[in-house]
A = this chain, B = another copy of it.
């Protein structure tokens, strides 16, 4: 049987039957756009007649080395004949010309990334025919020049500049501002020039055959699937490269046929706030691309209600119907051709994180989706967005905006101005600079620079412009259409009134308000008090199994963590407290002295500090568990660096030769001897691989007085706060255990101290002893370790380092970059847990530990604890909790809920009936 490569919009039922009614597969086969066109047609929504070439055809074409599969073209021609029948027009026939658009449409929406050619079917004769039919020479030649320009750039790969330059010359010669002010005669001349450009640049004659135009356009769409910008986008958005794109060939309709014509785009809900109200832009008497390109100032959609009340009402009703059908906020394109409304496209609407949350919550409350679905709809990364910096009130009070634009993607961003995306990327990646990408408007080619930038600022474009869409999707603060900015790309500067801002200068933008500021404004991170988010997080908490704790070293952090929903502290790094200026000298004395007495004194001097630290944490976490990790890093981290001391010594030796007085000599000699002695000690503590050296429990075993002091501080603090009715639940964690005996010894010493303190204080504190699992051997022998550990916490940073034998410090600035670039590693294992290796080890550990101690508490306290993909792994491993930075607690809560829901879904998954899935 012949393969069916082409489906007309009316054949959507056949397409669905071909993939066993699986709607996801329909979208895979026809692409999202094609599937939606067919679906809209079936729903009775007015869609111009057309057909879709399948993604399978695209893949077949690319696999065959850019050759159309046999019979494809016959099927296209048959579908064209069907369109001709339906419209009563004929493709390439000047007397009744059928014109078509040719657009890509992949399974997942990739806005602006794929190529489109409009007005296919025009040539000299057909244009003449059009003029006869419409009496509108200007419209006919404008369409023709658009076809040649789009065909030239998209299909033939000619740069856009010669076309645009030609238009600019004409505008200048005619003294007009806009292309729409050019006359039909002008446009006829322009068509001739454009054909000349094609001839000169592509060395071919612009094809006059309508079918030839269509065939070349279809092949260009297919080929664009493998274009650089498409690949880059897919890379960034994590879309598979083997899906292929469909091609949609649809009857052209025109919004530029007079005052009873219009064109526009609209969202069924507000894409910035999520409010349940139609939102969009339109232009009277214009083509769709005029709206998207932002070259003409658009009108807000609600003005259409006044200009075309019946059309507005019809459109509003269709929007509701589509939203209800797709159970999701819709992004629609429409055209009114001489009073007739056509819907050209509908798709799931992009939105800000704030809008995403509100829309999900309201859809659930309206009963369109379930609460589970609402929770699953959010990308956890979007939550991070709520935690994006905002400018501090003080910073804003002290300045006034330089310019205003559209607030298309919220959050505050500061950075150095970069006027081109390559520079933005280079500055950000190579120099580590914060960069703001500033462009007149952005194009798909600019995405790499947008991703590298802290934020995006454009001087033109609207809410649905490329810049706005991309910024929202990737959570970059953005202000677009700030028309007061005059950008001179050649001079690499921009001016606002008198002020000139040059490339490299600092500016600040507020994507929440649309303001642009000169210089670098201070930012603060907001509290997440959004009512919709709060509701969503409540639902998430109901669904999740996995606990969420926070890593916090200071009471402020603990308080924030608790506010964000942390159910305890999963990691307090006690040594962070040692670095404070007041304490560091004591710590250094403790390390450098060779006298046991002096060491004891120094340790004792640290006790009150630590007790105070811990008391603060206990108060903040009243009634919740607090895991306190005993000292972990190698001691030399508390001392000056060896190289620094060596340099200092050399300097002093040079100084002494030029000393003039005996006093000076004496002073330098003293310093010399001090430096030498410090150098000695630092030298003796140097290790060839400190990561694998004297740290963690090894320190506790060699210097038991230090960890004993820490445990004393923990228990004393717990006793102290209990007098104020605060319930402290300390969990004392021993780091870097590799052998059960380490734990046994150290726990013995520490437990004795804890008992002693409780007896001294006459207070009973309920506490636990546990250990980090951050060394492969600890994971492998977790059954033994669980004999002495009441809880285990996976230190996945170190566990990843040792499991891979990869030093993070060295690798992330070195070969790891190369590895990820070359695809040797699929992701950075320090960002997302390595499932096959590190997580496998964790699984062995959990199983082993539970064999010994079935109720043992297990968690993760590495950075992975805040990464959604890693959280899902931890959930599957059956851990009790993840612990992450306070800011990531909401992300972890949502991720944990999604993981639980997905697991539930996997367990109970049945092929859902078609109706249930789509209505």
- A803 / chain B contacts, CB cutoff of 8 Å: 738, 775-777, 780, 802
Could you list 29 A-B pairs, sorted by A, with CB under 8 Å? A646-B646, A650-B650, A687-B814, A689-B809, A689-B810, A690-B810, A691-B692, A692-B802, A692-B806, A692-B811, A693-B807, A694-B814, A694-B815, A701-B818, A701-B824, A738-B806, A739-B804, A739-B825, A741-B825, A775-B803, A775-B804, A776-B776, A776-B802, A776-B803, A776-B805, A777-B803, A780-B836, A780-B841, A798-B805
Complex CA–CA separation, A650 to B649 (angstroms): 11
Complex CA–CA separation, A777 to B825 (angstroms): 13
Q: Count how many chain A residues have C-beta atoms less than 8 Å from C-beta atoms of the other chain.
A: 53
Give per-residue flags for A811-845: 1 if the beta carbon is below 8 A from chain B beta carbons, else 0: 10011001100111100000000101110110000
Complex CA–CA separation, A781 to B841 (angstroms): 10
Question: How many copies altogether?
Answer: 2
Flag whether A698 is at the interface (Cβ < 8 A). yes
Complex CA–CA separation, A626 to B738 (angstroms): 35
Give per-residue flags for A9-47: 1 if the beta carbon is below 8 A from chain B beta carbons, else 0: 000000000000000000000000000000000000000
Flag whether A132 is at the interface (Cβ < 8 A). no
Complex CA–CA separation, A698 to B811 (angstroms): 10
- A810 / chain B contacts, CB cutoff of 8 Å: 687-690, 692-694
Cβ–Cβ contact B691 & A805, under 8 A: yes
Cβ–Cβ contact B811 & A745, under 8 A: no
- A825 / chain B contacts, CB cutoff of 8 Å: 739, 741
Flag whether A489 is at the interface (Cβ < 8 A). no
Complex CA–CA separation, A802 to B742 (angstroms): 17
CB nearest neighbor in B for A825: B739
A815 and B692 in contact, given A738-B806, A803-B777, A841-B780 (Cβ under 8 angstroms): no
Flag whether A801 is at the interface (Cβ < 8 A). yes
Flag whether A702 is at the interface (Cβ < 8 A). yes
Flag whether A441 is at the interface (Cβ < 8 A). no
What is the minimal beta-carbon distance from A6 to any residue of chain B, in angstroms?
Answer: 39
Flag whether A276 is at the interface (Cβ < 8 A). no
CB nearest neighbor in B for A737: B805
Flag whether A863 is at the interface (Cβ < 8 A). no
**Known contacts A693-B807, A702-B815; 8 further A-B pairs (Cβ under 8 A):** A689-B689, A689-B690, A691-B805, A692-B802, A694-B810, A775-B803, A777-B838, A784-B836
Cβ–Cβ contact B824 & A692, under 8 A: no
What is the minimal beta-carbon distance from A819 to any residue of chain B, in angstroms?
Answer: 8
- A838 / chain B contacts, CB cutoff of 8 Å: 777
User: Within the complex, which residue of B702, B736, B745, B802 is in contact with A802, where a contact is CB–CB below 8 Å?
Assistant: B802
Per the 8 Å Cβ criterion, residues 692-723 of A in contact with B are: 692-694, 698, 701-702
Complex CA–CA separation, A814 to B701 (angstroms): 12
Cβ–Cβ contact A823 & B741, under 8 A: yes
Per the 8 Å Cβ criterion, residues 650-697 of A in contact with B are: 650, 654, 687-694
CB nearest neighbor in B for A684: B814
Per the 8 Å Cβ criterion, residues 513-543 of A in contact with B are: none
Flag whether A774 is at the interface (Cβ < 8 A). yes
Complex CA–CA separation, A650 to B652 (angstroms): 13
Complex CA–CA separation, A825 to B810 (angstroms): 30
Per the 8 Å Cβ criterion, residues 727-745 of A in contact with B are: 736, 738-739, 741-742, 745
CB nearest neighbor in B for A811: B693
Complex CA–CA separation, A689 to B811 (angstroms): 10
Complex CA–CA separation, A837 to B775 (angstroms): 11
Cβ–Cβ contact B689 & A807, under 8 A: yes
- A815 / chain B contacts, CB cutoff of 8 Å: 694, 698, 701-702
What is the minimal beta-carbon distance from A430 to any residue of chain B, in angstroms?
Answer: 15
A809 and B738 in contact, given A698-B815, A780-B841, A837-B781 (Cβ under 8 angstroms): no
Complex CA–CA separation, A111 to B729 (angstroms): 57
